[in-house]
């Protein structure tokens, strides 16, 4: 696909925006500064967007604060209708949004279109949940009193999101926030602001009022600090690295804000001797290589029982060898580029560390001949728990294979990390699947399945992988406050 033609077409569709959105108006940075947005597959500049800081963020906070009073007073049915309209528009523009994701993020177009459906589904789901924010009536211990619990929106929300899912990480925050009456300031990653801006344009078209959804981007720490400092911002919801999440958690304490954190993972994928090998290979492949290994739920350690290790390593390497690497717009491509040079260097250094400590390359192990940030899909064997690649997220297309003997050892190895987001197990033993799931210190467990994310199930981590849950009926609670109301003198006339 010709990138220039595509950019021109996206511009004429009105979905390629190069200004930020504050109070319903598209605006530049106040000092005119911009950031270039690149196509990671080619290095070409797609467009420039405003490089904003605290002044613009404070204005976005004010507009969000003003909008909160009217948006939160609308009926749940009205908010639901606007969200449903937004969902319909996202789906109607699925192709353009998918193209934008591939253009700025690099993932293959089919995967990008899948993200649009997944991302839009959060808006549909929460358009329905908007109508189900029920309160409670508590049996009173005193005859003359009636006790009630009201659920009310927390207020203005700052939503800070990463580059690896430029749409879905936004919709799973903004969907529940708007559904219950909150208003939002979105801060997308500087690498992928275009999908966020397109989604915001469609939110305006859906009749979501000016100020209810704002998008600012630029100097991340200035924007973050302004959101943290403002007493008008009542909640921060963040998806990204554990290091930045910890900073935000500390910063939120000054104004005692609510905070939800979706942070990094270090997912174990345990393959037992009794697994169906085809199911395990397919599951591990999906869990590891989706988005070129750049997801928080990517299998980071494939832990294989000794009886099936050689057979699995062979079948898995053959499957990985079939993954076509290239520009996400090319037919049949399953692996796009890494997001940037820093990501490439991280992958290289982790592989070097593993090799220097005794790991072996079964496949790949180097930069791809396409150059830029393309890396060969890689399988390493003889990986040990103490290697860097087992300790931290590699966030790239490298599958390290580790060996274990007993179920107890596999559980110990899997839990030997500060992360606790996703885990996968492959076994045909039903009792074992329950036993191991219960023993794993993780927020999500896939049994005989590598792709487990859906808007209807709670997504989130334990330990240092985060706080709170997104999606599902539980996700909306993160944006609600409980208010206890005591009605006295209820026995009088």
Catalytic residue annotation:
262, 296
φ, ψ at 13 (rounded to 5°):
-75, -10
Question: If residue 290 lies in a helix (H) or strand (E), which one and from where to where?
Answer: none
Nearer to ligand NAP, 252 or 351 (CB): 252
List all residues 6 or more positions away from 166 whose beta carbon is below 8 Å from its beta carbon.
100, 101, 104, 105, 115, 188, 189, 192, 194, 195, 196
Alpha-helical (H) ranges within 76-108 are 76-92, 94-105
Strand pairing category for 466-467 and 258-262: antiparallel
Q: How far is the CB of 168 from ligand NAP (least distance, A)?
A: 9
Nearer to ligand NAP, 251 or 326 (CB): 251
C-alpha 266/C-alpha 87 separation (Å) is 32
Q: How far is the CB of 98 from ligand NAP (least distance, A)?
A: 18
Nearer to ligand NAP, 15 or 296 (CB): 296
Nearer to ligand NAP, 181 or 400 (CB): 400
**Site residues (vs ligand NAP, CB under 6 A):** 160-164, 169, 187, 189-191, 220-221, 224, 239-241, 244, 247, 262-265, 296, 393, 421, 461, 466
Question: Of 333, 297, 323, which is closest to residue 110 (Cα–Cα)?
Answer: 333
Strand order in 146-153's β-sheet? 136-138, 146-153, 480-487
Question: Of 376, 220, 216, which is closest to residue 293 (Cα–Cα)?
Answer: 376
Nearer to ligand NAP, 153 or 245 (CB): 245
Nearer to ligand NAP, 161 or 183 (CB): 161
Q: How far is the CB of 257 from ligand NAP (least distance, A)?
A: 13
In whole angstroms, what separates CA 262 from the centre of its chain? 7
Chain position whose Cβ is nearest to ligand NAP: 224
Nearer to ligand NAP, 63 or 161 (CB): 161
What end-to-end distance do the CA atoms of the chain give, in Å?
Answer: 76
C-alpha 197/C-alpha 161 separation (Å) is 13
Number of H helices, E strands in the chain: 16, 20
Q: How far is the CB of 468 from ligand NAP (least distance, A)?
A: 10
Q: Strand pairing partners for 378? A: 398
Q: How many CB atoms lie within 10 A of CB 116?
A: 25
C-alpha 313/C-alpha 156 separation (Å) is 50
C-alpha 27/C-alpha 50 separation (Å) is 8
Q: How far is the CB of 276 from ligand NAP (least distance, A)?
A: 29
Question: Of 439, 3, 404, 29, which is closest to residue 222 (Cα–Cα)?
Answer: 29
Q: How far is the CB of 294 from ligand NAP (least distance, A)?
A: 8
């Amino acid at each position: 696909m010709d990138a220039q033609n595509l950019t021109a077409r996206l511009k004429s569709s009105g979905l390629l925006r190069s200004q930020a959105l504050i109070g319903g108006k598209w605006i530049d940075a106040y000092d005119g500064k911009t950031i270039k947005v690149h196509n990671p597959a080619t290095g070409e500049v797609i467009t420039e967007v405003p490089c904003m800081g605290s002044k613009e963020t404070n204005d976005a906070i004010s507009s969000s604060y003003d909008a909160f009073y009217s948006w939160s007073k609308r009926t749940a049915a009205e908010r639901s209708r606007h969200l449903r309209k937004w969902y319909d528009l996202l789906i109607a523009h699925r192709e353009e949004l998918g193209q934008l994701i591939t253009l700025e993020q690099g993932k293959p177009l089919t995967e990008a279109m899948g993200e649009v459906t997944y991302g839009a589904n959060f808006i549909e789901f929460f358009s329905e949940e908007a109508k189900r924010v029920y309160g409670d009536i508590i049996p009173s211990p005193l005859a003359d009193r009636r006790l009630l619990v009201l659920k009310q929106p927390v207020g203005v929300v700052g939503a800070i999101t990463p580059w690896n899912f430029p749409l879905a990480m936004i919709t799973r925050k903004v969907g529940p926030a708007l559904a219950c009456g909150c208003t939002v300031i979105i801060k997308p990653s500087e690498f992928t602001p275009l999908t966020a801006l397109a989604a915001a344009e469609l939110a305006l078209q859906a009749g979501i009022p000016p100020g209810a959804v704002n998008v600012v981007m630029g100097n991340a720490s200035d924007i973050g600090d302004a959101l943290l400092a403002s007493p008008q911002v009542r909640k921060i919801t963040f998806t990204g690295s554990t290091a930045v999440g910890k900073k935000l958690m500390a910063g939120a304490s000054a104004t005692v804000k609510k905070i939800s954190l979706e942070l990094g993972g270090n997912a174990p994928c345990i393959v037992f001797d009794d697994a169906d090998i085809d199911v395990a290979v397919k599951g591990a492949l999906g869990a590891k290589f989706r988005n070129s290994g750049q997801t928080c739920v990517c299998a980071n350690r494939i832990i294989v029982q000794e009886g099936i290790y050689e057979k699995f390593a062979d079948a898995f390497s053959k499957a990985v060898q079939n993954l076509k690497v290239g520009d996400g717009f090319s037919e049949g491509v399953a692996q796009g580029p890494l997001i940037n040079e820093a990501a490439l260097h991280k992958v290289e250094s982790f592989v070097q560390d593993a090799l220097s400590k005794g790991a072996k390359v079964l496949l790949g192990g180097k930069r791809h001949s396409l150059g830029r940030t393309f890396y060969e899909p890689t399988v390493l064997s003889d990986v040990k728990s103490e290697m860097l690649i087992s300790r931290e997220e590699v966030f790239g297309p490298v599958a390290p294979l580790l060996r274990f003997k007993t179920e107890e050892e596999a559980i110990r190895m899997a839990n030997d990390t500060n992360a606790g987001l996703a885990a996968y197990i492959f076994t045909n033993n039903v009792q074992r699947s329950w036993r191991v799931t219960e023993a794993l210190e993780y927020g999500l467990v896939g049994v005989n399945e590598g792709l487990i994310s859906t808007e209807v199930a709670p997504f989130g981590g334990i330990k240092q992988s985060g706080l709170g849950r997104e999606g599902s009926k539980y996700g909306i609670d993160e944006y609600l406050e409980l208010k206890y109301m005591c009605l006295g003198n209820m026995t009088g006339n």
